[in-house]
Structure 1
Amino acid sequence: MTFFAKILSAVALCVLFAGSALAADAAHKLAIHVDESDPAVMNLALNNAKNVQSYYADKGETVAIEIVAYGPGLKMYTADSPVKDRISAMSLEHENLTFAACGNTLAAMEKKAGTKVELISEATMVPSGVVRLMELQEQGYSYVRP
């Protein structure tokens, strides 16, 4: 196992444990899937998250929401993301909102670019976006793809 893979695995385990702790307290759980670099899709995903969070907050209930981005959708979490300011604001407003970035996609992007690709600080690396979506569904998360 390469050094990068070991670090990525350790970070992923921390994310899984932290995410599980937040979700355990939440009455509802939602996984949102973003795999397109279209700003309209990214904003729709963020709108879905905001609307779901507001709906349950109005009912006095909690919801854990994780937005998982991979493939072209990882653009949502890059330093030049068209929605980075919105993600920053939303992450401060909602403690049960997390942003998962696919490690496989990031590695491919960096290989193609020949340089490190910077992600926003709110993004948490997971080894595989697809696997993360599977794990969330296995943990009882509802799945939405805007």
Structure 2
Amino acid sequence: MTHFIRLIAILGLALTAFAMTGAAQAEGYGKQKVVYHINYDGGEGNKAYKGAMRNIQNHINAVGAENMEIKVVMHGNGLGLLAAAKGDDTMKTTVASLKGQNVAFHVCNNTLKGRNIDYSNDLYDVWEDDIVPSGVAELSKLQQQGFTYIKP
């Protein structure tokens, strides 16, 4: 099922990329580096998480994936996004599609340890390379590197 979801996400990405070719240049947005900060609960039906991912996709659609460097930093309750995706095929597809457009999802190690979360079993599609020592320190580091901060 996971391979099927990824295949659908990749096909969707290809269609989106084809439709959006040159969109960023037409709109004059240029290249952008952005960090999205998620540290909140998703709410009923994971509405807040789905809204955040929709914001990210809309941002990509406006600027073009080829003109974006996007990182999503999650800590505290924000790890609920990837926990919820573990059991929700729609969220899995959305996360996979965003990753297919080079969106990086960073997970706070402090939260993993503090809440006894096993990233390989409890979260969707998280690898060792996705883990950062501290979510808040990562946010600061990325802003120092010129990333624009957005909290959807």
Alpha-carbon RMSD across the aligned residues, in angstroms, is 2.2
Any runs of at least 4 consecutive aligned residues in structure 1 with deviations exceeding 6 A, and if so which?
A: none
Quote the residue 2:48 is aligned against: 41
1:52 aligns with 2:56: no
TM-score normalised by structure 2 residue count:
0.66
Is contact 1:34–1:41 with CA below 8 Å preserved after alignment?
no
Quote the residue 1:91 is aligned against: 99
User: Which secondary structure does the structure 1 equivalent of 2:143 belong to?
Assistant: helix
1:1-146 paired onto structure 2 within 5 Å: 27-38=31-42, 39-57=46-64, 62-78=67-83, 80=86, 82=88, 83-92=91-100, 94-95=101-102, 97-110=103-116, 116-117=118-119, 118=121, 119-122=123-126, 124-146=130-152
State the percentage of identical aligned residues: 27
Task: State how far apart, in whole Å, the 2-side matches of 1:103 and 1:81 are.
Answer: 22
Task: State how far apart, in whole Å, the 2-side matches of 1:99 and 1:81 are.
Answer: 18
User: Which secondary structure does the structure 2 equivalent of 1:136 belong to?
Assistant: helix
Structure with more helix by fraction: 2
Q: How many residues align?
A: 113
Judged with a 3 Å threshold, the aligned counterparts in structure 2 of structure 1 residues 105 and 64 are, in CA distance, closer, same or farther, namely same
TM-score normalised by structure 1 residue count:
0.68
Judged with a 3 Å threshold, the aligned counterparts in structure 2 of structure 1 residues 70 and 81 are, in CA distance, closer, same or farther, namely farther
Structure 2 residues without counterparts, runs of 5 or longer:
1-29
